[in-house]
């Protein structure tokens, strides 16, 4: 879904000061171009504003078709911290630039606010909580437009907020997942989440890792990826694991996570492992721990060798053209 044509035409202005960047970008709700002013009920001069909620798959098409965009899908069991990762990134951008990126707008401000309400960084609540993502909801994409001060490119990030039950109902079933979730084929990054709270519990640890392994296998066997898809394997709620201060336990977990990485490397070339504590319990790690590194991984252009195992084995190389592509 990465589209590098349209938005690269940013003004080639020398940006030195962050005040200059503030002028270049703004956090206004995005509106349509002036030539798209519409007539509504016979009254002219109305501008159709985005509804501001999370977007459906169809509502993301105008963005992905015309502008630089990256789709990030977070996959993990219920309660693993997916929504908190998305909302904390949004909230951190309200404080300052992050990973060299500046907030440059959002078409789903209400969607973010709805989800952030109970976890505001300024909140006086002792324990932050995130409302559970409802399974039936079709509005799953949160939109963030970010400006990269180095490359001077604005990129639309679309974060798939998929409930744990939804994705796990397809576990091990390649046919239903490729039919119901075909849009996943053009995903730029998959984030497979392992809940640090479950990893810290010796009775739940193996189940958590096996489940992530099987989910990854289901998605990739269903061919829901492209040659430039990247994968991040992520331990969420890392503060809970870290509290144990057990280096042997972490080494054992790393070893098992490596099995997931080895599996994924058969399909795609860029697989990285991350530790994140988006909304940690007070005192252990700072809010948003690991998110800057994660954002950088999403933002980095795909560089790896793009030929992957299933591509090689599945395509019949009948024509000379196909044979050439394979050799390349």
> Which of these segments, 71-79, 97-105, 149-157, 251-259, binds ligand GTP (CB under 6 A)?
71-79
CB of 19 to ligand GTP, least distance (A): 33
Q: Which of residues 82 and 217 has its CB atom nearest to Mg ion in the complex? A: 82
Q: Tell whether residue 133 is a contact of ligand GTP (CB under 6 A).
A: yes
Residue (80 or 299) nearer to ligand GTP, CB:
80
**H or E segment to which residue 241 belongs:** helix 238-243
158 binds ligand GTP (CB under 6 A): no
> Residue 83 or 108: which CB sits closer to Mg ion?
83
Q: How far apart are CA 46 and CA 64, in angstroms?
A: 25
80 binds Mg ion (CB under 5 A): no
- Nearest residue to 231 via CA among 286, 198, 188: 188
Q: Which of residues 193-212 bind Mg ion (CB under 5 A)?
A: none
CB 168 within 8 A of CB 77: yes
DSSP state of 278: S
Residue of 133, 211, 218, 226 interacting with Mg ion (CB under 5 A): 133
Shortest distance in whole angstroms from residue 234 CB to Mg ion:
15
Number of residues that bind Mg ion (CB under 5 A): 3
Name the segment binding ligand GTP (CB under 6 A); options: 46-54, 93-101, 128-136, 183-191: 128-136
Residue selected from 52, 81, 105, 160 as contacting ligand GTP according to rule CB under 6 A: 81
CB of 279 to Mg ion, least distance (A): 12
Which one-letter DSSP state was computed for residue 124? Answer: -
Burial of 50 (0-12, 13-18, 19+ CB in 10 A): middle
DSSP string for residues in 148-204: ETTTTEEEEEEEEE--HHHHHTTTT-HHHHHHHTGGGGG-SEEEEEEEHHHHTSTTT
Yes or no: say if 222 and 178 are a contact pair by the CB < 8 Å rule.
yes
Q: Does 83 bind ligand GTP (CB under 6 A)?
A: yes
- For strand 43-46 and strand 38-40, is the pairing parallel, antiparallel, or unpaired? antiparallel
What is the rounded CA–CA span in Å between residue 60 and residue 80? 25
Residue 224 interface partner, choices ligand GTP, Mg ion, none, CB cut-off 5-8 Å depending on type: none
- Site mask for ligand GTP (CB under 6 A), range 25-64, x = bound: ----------------------------------------
Give least dist CB 295 to Mg ion, A: 19
Size of the residue set binding ligand GTP (CB under 6 A): 23
Residue 281 near ligand GTP by CB under 6 A: yes
CB-based burial label for 143 (10 Å; 0-12, 13-18, 19+): buried
Q: Nearer Cβ to ligand GTP, position 119 or 229?
A: 119
240 binds ligand GTP (CB under 6 A): yes
Q: Decide if residue 83 touches Mg ion (CB under 5 A).
A: yes
Of positions 79, 139, 148, 221, contacts ligand GTP by CB under 6 A: 79
**Cβ-Cβ contacts under 8 Å for 156 (sequence gap 6 or more):** 63, 64, 67, 68, 69, 70, 143, 144, 145
- Is 215 in contact with 167 (CB distance < 8 Å)? yes
Would you tell me which residues interact with ligand GTP (CB under 6 A)?
A: 76, 78-84, 128-130, 132-133, 163-164, 237, 239-240, 277-281
């Amino acid at each position: 879904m990465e589209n590098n044509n349209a938005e690269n035409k940013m003004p080639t202005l020398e940006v030195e000061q962050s005040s200059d960047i503030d002028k270049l970008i703004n956090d206004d709700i995005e509106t349509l171009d002036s030539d798209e002013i519409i007539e509504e009920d016979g009254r002219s001069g109305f501008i159709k504003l985005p509804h501001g909620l999370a977007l459906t798959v169809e509502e993301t098409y105008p963005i992905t078709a015309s502008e630089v965009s990256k789709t990030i899908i977070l996959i993990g069991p219920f309660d693993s911290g997916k929504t908190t990762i998305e909302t904390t990134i949004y909230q951190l951008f309200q404080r300052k630039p992050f990973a060299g990126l500046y907030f440059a707008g959002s078409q789903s401000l209400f969607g973010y606010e709805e989800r952030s309400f109970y976890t505001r960084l300024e909140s006086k609540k002792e324990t932050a909580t995130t409302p559970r993502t409802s399974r039936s909801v079709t509005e799953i994409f949160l939109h963030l437009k970010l400006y990269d001060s180095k490359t001077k490119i604005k990129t639309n990030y679309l974060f798939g907020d998929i409930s744990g039950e939804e994705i796990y109902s397809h576990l091990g079933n390649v046919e239903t997942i490729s039919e119901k979730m075909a849009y996943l084929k053009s995903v730029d990054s998959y984030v497979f989440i392992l809940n640090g709270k479950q990893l810290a519990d010796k009775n739940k640890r193996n189940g958590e890792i096996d489940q992530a392994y099987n989910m990854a296998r289901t998605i990739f066997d269903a061919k829901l990826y492209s040659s430039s898809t990247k994968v991040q394997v992520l331990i969420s709620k890392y503060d809970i694991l870290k509290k144990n201060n057990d280096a042997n336990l972490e080494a054992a977990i790393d070893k098992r996570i490596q099995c997931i990485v080895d599996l994924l490397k058969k399909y795609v070339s860029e697989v990285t492992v991350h530790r994140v504590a988006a909304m940690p319990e007070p005192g252990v790690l700072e809010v948003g721990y690991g998110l800057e590194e994660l954002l950088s991984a999403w933002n980095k252009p795909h560089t790896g060798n793009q030929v992957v195992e299933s591509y090689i084995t599945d395509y019949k190389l009948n024509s000379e053209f196909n044979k050439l592509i394979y050799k390349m």
